[in-house]
């Protein structure tokens, strides 16, 4: 089931701030050339195939700019679409439609692009138990939207930020003085501060995996830039004693090789940091 986040407080703040950023002192292009009472129709058209994400947010933007607009919706978030499919038709104030156009397209194009690539990746390994995760490689202040789009495409969220999980990466390990020291310090910190957070440790070789296993219980061991063959050996070493995750150097072409190892999770920064936006248009016609 796709969660509708268009009424989420943080999402509404994103919309309001984006409208302020774009409109500023006024949409002078429309104010100067279009009568304030002029009505118009517009249609949202998908110019390539993909997965819809952000449609309810687009509708929210339209309603904020023109509460009286009438919208006929033909697609939903999570739907697959093809070339020239129509997402919705809207009739309302012409100036309001033009104020909405760029923001709703910016959001829908990016989120649909994220959902589309996530679906492609997830479909490659959907017959394995391995789950596809996103990362923190997101656009600043848009993380809630981008991570939601990953779930629309069938992926799962890793930690949301620095606050909801302890993730000890190579830099933490090196500064702390090694795998064992870093994990012990993290456990002491959680006890001292009465926090209930999972601990994940990043490992760079099988020796570090073995060291991490001496510090159980921990939630998850990550295999960073392991080959599929090395990942298989690491999964066998862990033997279900905690969760496992692969990250680094994984692409849509080789992801199945990693899923075959039995690793629990595969995290991919590409889902959000270098995604291609889906081509969508918003065509306005006078009534």
Report, as residue numbers or ranges, the catalytic residues.
102, 137, 169, 202, 224
Contact 227, 209 (CB under 8 A): no
Burial of 17 (0-12, 13-18, 19+ CB in 10 A): exposed
Please report which residue ranges of 34-178 form alpha helices under DSSP H. 55-65, 94-124, 143-152, 170-176
Helix (H, G, I), strand (E, B) or coil at 184: helix
Contact 134, 271 (CB under 8 A): yes
Beta-bridge partners for 41: 91, 285
The helix or strand, by DSSP H or E, that contains position 32, with its residue range, turns out to be helix 28-33
Sheet holding 86-93, edge to edge: 70-73, 86-93, 39-46, 280-286
Q: Which two tokens stand for residue 238?
A: 């862990």
Half-sphere exposure of 200 (CA within 13 A, CB side): 20
Contact 42, 282 (CB under 8 A): yes
Number of neighbouring beta carbons within 10 Å of residue 194 = 6
């Amino acid at each position: 089931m796709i969660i509708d986040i268009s009424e989420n407080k943080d999402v509404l703040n994103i919309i309001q701030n984006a409208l302020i950023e774009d409109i500023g002192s006024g949409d002078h292009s429309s104010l100067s050339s279009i009568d304030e009472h002029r009505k118009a129709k517009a249609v949202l058209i998908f110019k390539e195939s993909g997965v819809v994400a952000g449609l309810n947010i687009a509708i929210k933007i339209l309603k904020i700019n023109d509460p009286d607009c009438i919208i006929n919706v033909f697609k939903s978030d999570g739907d697959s679409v093809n070339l020239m499919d129509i997402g919705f038709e809207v009739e309302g104030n012409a100036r309001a439609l033009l104020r909405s156009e760029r923001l709703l397209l910016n959001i829908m194009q990016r989120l649909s692009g994220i959902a589309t690539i996530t679906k492609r990746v997830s479909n490659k390994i959907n017959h394995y138990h391995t789950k596809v995760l996103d990362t923190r490689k997101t656009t600043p202040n848009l993380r809630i939207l981008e991570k939601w789009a990953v779930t629309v495409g069938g992926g799962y969220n890793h930690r949301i930020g620095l606050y909801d999980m302890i993730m000890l990466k190579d830099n933490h390990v090196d500064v702390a003085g090694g795998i064992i020291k870093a994990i012990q310090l993290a456990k002491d910190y959680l006890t001292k501060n009465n926090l209930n957070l999972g601990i994940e440790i990043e490992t760079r070789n099988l020796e570090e995996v073995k060291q991490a296993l001496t510090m159980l219980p921990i939630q998850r061991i990550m295999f960073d830039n392991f080959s599929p063959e090395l990942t298989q050996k690491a999964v066998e070493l862990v033997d279900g004693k905690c969760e496992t995750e692969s990250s680094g150097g994984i692409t849509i072409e080789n992801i199945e090789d990693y899923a075959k190892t039995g690793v629990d999770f595969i995290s991919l920064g590409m889902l959000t940091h270098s995604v291609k936006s889906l081509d969508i248009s918003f065509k306005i016609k006078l009534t």
